[in-house]
Amino acid sequence: MDTLANSYVPLPAEALDADAMRAAIVRKLTYDLGKSQAGARDRDWFMATALAVRDRIVDRWLSVTRAAYEGGQKQVYYLSLEFLIGRLLRDGVTNLGLTELVSEALAPLGVDFEKVRQAEPDAALGNGGLGRLAACFMESLASLAIPAFGYGIRYEHGLFRQIIRDGWQQEYPEDWLNFGNPWEYARPEIAYDIGFGGAVEAVIVSEARMRHVWHPAETVQAVAYDTPVVGWRGQHVNTLRLWSARAADPLKLDAFNYGDHVGALADRVRQESICKVLYPSDESPAGQELRLKQEYFFASAALQDLVRRHLRVYGDLKSLPDKVSIQLNDTHPAIAVAELMRICLDLHGIAWDEAWEITQGTVSYTNHTLLPEALESWAVPLMERLLPRHMQIIYLINAFHLDRVRAKHPGDTRLLSSVSLIEEDHGRRVRMGHLAFVGSHKVNGVSALHSDLLKRTVFKDFHALEPGKVVNKTNGITFRRWLQQCNPGLTGLLTEAIGPAFLDNAEALKDLAPLAGDAAFQQKFLAVKRQNKEALATLIRSQLDIRVDPHAMFDVQIKRIHEYKRQLLNVLETIALYDAIRSQPTRDWVPRVKIFAGKAAASYHRAKQIIKLAHDVARVINSDPTVRNLLKVVFLPNYNVSLAEMIVPAADLSEQISTAGMEASGTGNMKLGLNGALTIGTLDGANVEMLEHVGAENIFIFGMTTEEVEARRREGVQGSAAIAASSRLSEVLEAVRSGVFSPDDRNRYRDLVDALCGSDYFMVAADFDAYFESQRQVATRWADQAAWQRSAILNTAHMGWFSSDRTIRDYAQEIWQVPVRR
Residues marked as catalytic: 368, 559-560, 565, 667, 671
C-beta nearest to ligand 26V: residue? 129
- The secondary structure of 696-716, three-state, reads HHHCEECCCCHHHHHHHHHHC
Q: What letter represents residue 2's amino acid?
A: D
**Least spacing, CB of residue 743 vs ligand 26V, in Å:** 32
Structure-derived torsion over alpha carbons of residues 380, 384, 390, 395, reported in degrees to the nearest 10:
50
DSSP helix/strand/coil, 307: helix
Nearer to ligand 26V, 371 or 721 (CB): 371
**Least spacing, CB of residue 544 vs ligand 26V, in Å:** 28
Q: Is 139 within 8 Å of 67 (Cβ atoms)?
A: no
For the packed helices 335-342 and 352-362, what is the interaxial angle rounded to 10 degrees? 140
Nearer to ligand 26V, 436 or 793 (CB): 436
Q: Is 733 within 8 Å of 772 (Cβ atoms)?
A: no
C-alpha to C-alpha distance for 511 and 559, rounded to whole angstroms: 31
Residue 665: count other Cβ atoms within 10 Å of its Cβ: 28
- Length of the chain, in residues: 822
**Least spacing, CB of residue 133 vs ligand 26V, in Å:** 4
Provide the total of helices (H) and of strands (E) in the chain, helices listed first: 34, 24
Q: Is 188 within 8 Å of 223 (Cβ atoms)?
A: yes
* Closest among 26, 193, 233 to 109, alpha carbons compared: 26
Residue 235: count other Cβ atoms within 10 Å of its Cβ: 20
Paired sense of beta strands 185-196 and 83-86, if any: unpaired
**Least spacing, CB of residue 475 vs ligand 26V, in Å:** 5
**Cross-strand bridge partners of residue 470:** 443
Whole-number Cα distances in Å, 65 to 2, 106, 161: 15, 31, 36
C-alpha to C-alpha distance for 628 and 231, rounded to whole angstroms: 48
**Least spacing, CB of residue 277 vs ligand 26V, in Å:** 17
**Least spacing, CB of residue 733 vs ligand 26V, in Å:** 25
Instruction: Give the footprint of ligand 26V on this chain (CB under 6 A).
Output: 128-130, 133, 281-282, 284, 330, 368-369, 371, 373-374, 446, 475, 562, 663-667, 685
Q: Is 690 within 8 Å of 714 (Cβ atoms)?
A: no
Supply angle C-alpha 141, 147, 151, rounded to 5.
75
Region class of 817: left (phi > 0), else alpha (psi between -120 and 50), else beta? left
Strands lying side by side in the sheet with 148-153: 185-196, 218-230, 237-247, 148-153, 75-79, 324-329, 363-366, 443-445, 470-472
**Cross-strand bridge partners of residue 185:** 226
**Least spacing, CB of residue 821 vs ligand 26V, in Å:** 25
* Closest among 595, 585, 596, 594 to 631, alpha carbons compared: 594
**Least spacing, CB of residue 336 vs ligand 26V, in Å:** 18
